[in-house]
Amino acid sequence: MKCFARGYKLAGACTLAMVSMLAHGAEAGASADELLGDAQRLIQQIDAGRYSAVWQETAPFVKAKYAENGFESGLSQLRQVVGTVSHRGWSSVTRLTYSHDKVVPDGLYANVDYTTWRTDGQVIYEKLSFQLGNDGRWYFTGYAPRASQNVASQAQVGR
C-alpha cells in the first residue's frame, strides 16, 4: 500500500490502514499463542472426559475416518494411560506442511508437545496434533501420550 500524506490527520489514517492490513493480512495460523490456547483448552477437555466436545473441534478428514463413538472410546483409552496429572507445561510447538501425503490432506499442521508430571512423580509426554482449516482455525487431528519425549506412540487417535 502506498501512502503519501500531507498533514497529521491523513498520515494517522494511513498508518491506521497499514496496521489494519498487517493485522488482517497476517498468515493464517501464524500465532503460536492462538495454537497454544486451543491446545490448552482441548487438553483440559480431554482431562475432564469431554470427548464429545473434542469431537466437535476435530478436523473433517478425521471425522470421516472414525465414527464418533469409536473416536471417543479411543481417546478415553489413551487418556487412561496418562493417569492422574499433577501439572503439565508445553515443551514444544512444531509446524509441518504436508503435500501429496497418502494419509493426510495437503495443508499446514502443528503439534503441541506437553511434558506432564503425574501425581506419582512419573513424567509422561503428550502430543496434540492440529490441522489449520480454510477458515484460519486450528482443528484437532490427534492425541498421543508416550513414555519418552523422542519416541512417537503407535497408539494415537486421529493422525
Domain residue ranges in the chain: 1-28, 31-158
Average pLDDT estimate for 107-119: 97
Q: What is the pTM of this model?
A: 0.76
Instruction: Kindly report the CATH class assigned to 31-158.
Output: alpha beta
pLDDT tens-digit readout, 44-72: 999 999 999 999 999 999 999 999 999 99
pLDDT tens-digit readout, 3-23: 433 444 433 433 333 333 333
Tell me the DSSP string of 40-92: HHHHHHHHTT-HHHHHHTB-HHHHHHS-HHHHHHHHHHHHHHH-SEEEEEEEE
Beta carbons of 35 and 110 less than 8 angstroms apart: yes
Higher-confidence residue of 10 and 88: namely: 88
